[in-house]
């Protein structure tokens, strides 16, 4: 009989206690897994999607909404701003680059974003096949969008109005796929990218007939928002104030907004962290009590094992292994449950295409969970194992 099998049998010889301990440990570990996953993914998303974007300029409204819709593409934008006003910004001495974005349409839940090639260059995305658009109504698919839509270069589709699936279709305005991006890990992966002009074309009744009308249209044209890069970090001091007070637009600094968002989330994560800590502590105590009473209960059996020739360390090892099994099981269950919770959160918030939060990822920090499981189990088993080590055979002989 192997010590591992024996420890397993002893563990499940008291199924209720074992199940309770397993439940407690798993719950604590699941909470920690969930916390690690969510914070890791949020950090990563912020890091990769915010990179190089100093300011987002758009319609007046909630700055958070502007960031979420313009950078992460997970909220609806507050409204539109005039293209002319945005292009004016490009001339401002503190501004290095302006990337205008036009939102509003989608195809099967993937947003169609009208922009310039700068947007793709900004995220250093590479083409996996095809080429970038050269004229309106040509699109380049992000890697995930292409995979999920099952589309390749040469195919055509009609976008629908609105950012969620199910808006009315835009009649005879066919988009043609001319390129597919390689996965870049950025927000581009789940977007359908096209020229800003495509979005205008789809939404304008008819194209400009002559030069006059063209100029008039240009005057009226709108974009949803613009991503800005400063020439100097010092611009952060004055430029947002300039936008907010001198123009009809609103400026939102991603760094500020994300800090605000994280501090809002922070309270939630602190509560969850404390909850996980309490759960783990309870689980540890419960395991300790279970093993301690097991040692007391099996005192005679353990003494008999000594009588049968088992050295003391073997009995201690048996106890430790019993706890180890519990820790291993709890780690597996906790990790699964935590991943499930993260997946569920992503699904609930309808972020499944956003890469923002989801399950089934393994950041290195997640190794903390099995380590913690085994640590707690070992710690809880330490005293009981010592008790087993020191079990007195004389008591057995004296029939006590």
Partner 1 sequence: MRFPDVAVAQGATLLLSGPSGCGKSTWLALMAGLVRPTSGRLVVAGQVLNDLDSVATDAWRASVVGFLPQKLHLSAALTVRQNLALAQWAAGIAEDRAAIDAALDALGVAEFSDRKPAQLSGGQAQRVALARAVLQQPKVILADEPSASLDDDAAADAVALLLATARSQTATLVIATHDTRVAALLAAESADCAGLQRLQLLRNPP
Q: Among 5-13, 58-66, 85-93, 341-349, which window interacts with partner 1 (CB under 8 A)?
A: 5-13
Closer CB to partner 1, residue 274 or residue 307?
307
Minimum distance between the CB of residue 336 and partner 1, rounded to whole angstroms?
A: 28
- Do strands 250-252 and 55-58 pair parallel, antiparallel, or not at all (unpaired)? antiparallel
Tokens at 342, concatenated: 């993260």
In order of 106, 203, 332, 336, 367, the CA distances from 217 in angstroms are 24, 12, 61, 55, 57
The β-bridge partners of 302 are none
With contact defined as beta carbons under 8 Å apart, do 113 and 104 qualify? no
The residues in 374-393 that bind partner 1, with binding defined as CB under 8 A, are: 393
Q: In this complex, which beta carbon is closest to partner 1, that of residue 308 or of residue 360?
A: 308
93, 308, 360, 364: which one contacts partner 1 (CB under 8 A)?
Answer: 308
Residue among 267 and 394 whose Cβ is closer to partner 1:
394
What is the x/- site pattern for partner 1, positions 312-341, by CB under 8 A? --x---------------------------
Of 53, 137, 305, 331, the residue at the interface with partner 1 (CB under 8 A) is 305
Nearer to partner 1, 310 or 379 (CB): 310
Q: Which residues contact 389 (CB under 8 A, 6 or more apart)?
A: 312, 313, 315, 316
Phi/psi at 108 (5° precision): 50, 45
Q: Contact with partner 1 (CB under 8 A): which of 76, 301, 343, 375?
A: 301
Site for partner 1 in 53-112 (CB under 8 A): none
CA angle 143, 198, 180 (to 5 degrees): 15
Q: Please report how close the Cβ of residue 383 comes to partner 1 at its closest, in angstroms.
A: 22
Cβ neighbors of 351 (< 8 A, separation 6 or more) are 74, 345, 357, 358
Binding mask 239-278 for partner 1 (x = CB under 8 A): ----------------------------------------
Q: Does 16 bind partner 1 (CB under 8 A)?
A: no
Binding residue count for partner 1, defined by CB under 8 A: 26
3-class DSSP state of 207: coil
Residue among 222, 224, 205, 229 nearest 94 (CA): 229
One of 122, 190, 221, 298 touching partner 1 (CB under 8 A): 298
Closest approach of Cβ 299 to partner 1, in Å? 10
Strand ranges (DSSP E) for the chain?
55-58, 81-82, 95-107, 110-115, 127-130, 138-141, 156-161, 169-181, 191-195, 222-223, 225-230, 250-252
Those residues with Cβ within 8 angstroms of residue 149's Cβ, 6 or more apart along the chain or in another chain: 107, 108, 110, 141
Closer Cβ to partner 1, 243 or 315, answer by number: 315
CB closer to partner 1 out of 304 and 374 = 304
CB of 8 to partner 1, least distance (A): 10
Rounded to whole angstroms, the Cα distance separating 158 from 170 reads 6
> Which of 306, 343, 345, 379 contacts partner 1 by CB under 8 A?
306
Q: Could you tell me the smallest distance in angstroms from the CB atom of residue 376 to partner 1?
A: 24
For 365, residues 6+ apart whose C-beta sits below 8 A from its C-beta are 36, 40
Return the range that interacts with partner 1 (CB under 8 A); candidates 176-184, 265-273, 301-309, 336-344: 301-309
d(CA 367, CA 9): 28
Binding stretches for partner 1 (CB under 8 A): 1-3, 6, 9-10, 13, 298, 300-301, 303-311, 314, 393-394, 396-399
């Amino acid at each position: 009989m192997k010590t591992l099998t024996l420890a397993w049998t002893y563990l499940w010889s008291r199924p209720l206690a074992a199940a309770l301990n397993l439940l407690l440990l798993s719950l604590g570990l699941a909470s920690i897994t969930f916390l690690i996953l969510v914070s890791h993914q949020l950090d990563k998303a912020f890091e990769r999607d915010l990179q190089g974007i100093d300011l987002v300029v758009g319609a007046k409204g909630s700055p958070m909404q502007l960031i979420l819709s313009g950078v992460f593409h997970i909220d609806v934008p507050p409204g539109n701003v005039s293209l002319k006003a945005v292009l004016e910004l490009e001339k401002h001495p503190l501004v290095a680059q302006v990337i205008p974005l036009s939102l509003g349409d989608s195809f099967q839940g993937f947003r169609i974003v009208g922009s310039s090639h700068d947007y793709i260059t900004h995220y250093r995305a590479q083409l996996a096949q095809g080429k970038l658009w050269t004229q309106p109504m040509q699109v380049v698919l992000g890697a995930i969008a292409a995979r999920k839509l099952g589309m390749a270069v040469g195919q055509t589709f009609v976008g629908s109005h609105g950012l969620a699936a199910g808006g009315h279709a835009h009649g005879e305005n066919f988009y043609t796929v001319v390129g597919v991006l390689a996965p870049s890990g950025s927000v581009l992966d789940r977007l359908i990218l096209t020229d800003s002009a495509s979005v205008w074309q789809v939404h304008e009744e008819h194209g400009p007939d002559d030069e006059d009308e063209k100029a008039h249209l240009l005057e009226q044209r709108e974009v949803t928002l613009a991503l800005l890069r400063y020439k100097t970090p010092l611009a952060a001091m004055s430029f947002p104030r300039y936008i907010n007070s001198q123009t009809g637009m609103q400026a939102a600094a991603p760094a500020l907004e994300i800090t605000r968002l994280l501090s809002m989330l922070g309270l939630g994560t602190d509560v969850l962290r404390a909850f996980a800590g309490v759960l783990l502590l309870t689980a540890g105590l419960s395991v300790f009590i279970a093993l301690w009473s097991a040692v007391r209960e099996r005192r005679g059996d353990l003494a008999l094992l000594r009588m049968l020739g088992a050295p003391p360390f073997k009995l201690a090892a048996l106890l430790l292994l019993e706890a180890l099994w519990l820790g291993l099981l709890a780690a597996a269950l906790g990790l699964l449950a935590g991943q499930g919770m993260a997946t569920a959160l992503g699904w609930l918030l309808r972020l499944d295409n956003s890469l923002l939060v989801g399950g089934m990822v393994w950041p290195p920090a997640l190794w903390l969970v099995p380590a913690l499981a085994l640590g707690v189990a070992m710690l809880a088993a330490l005293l009981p194992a010592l008790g087993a080590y020191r079990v007195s055979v004389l008591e057995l002989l004296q029939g006590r």
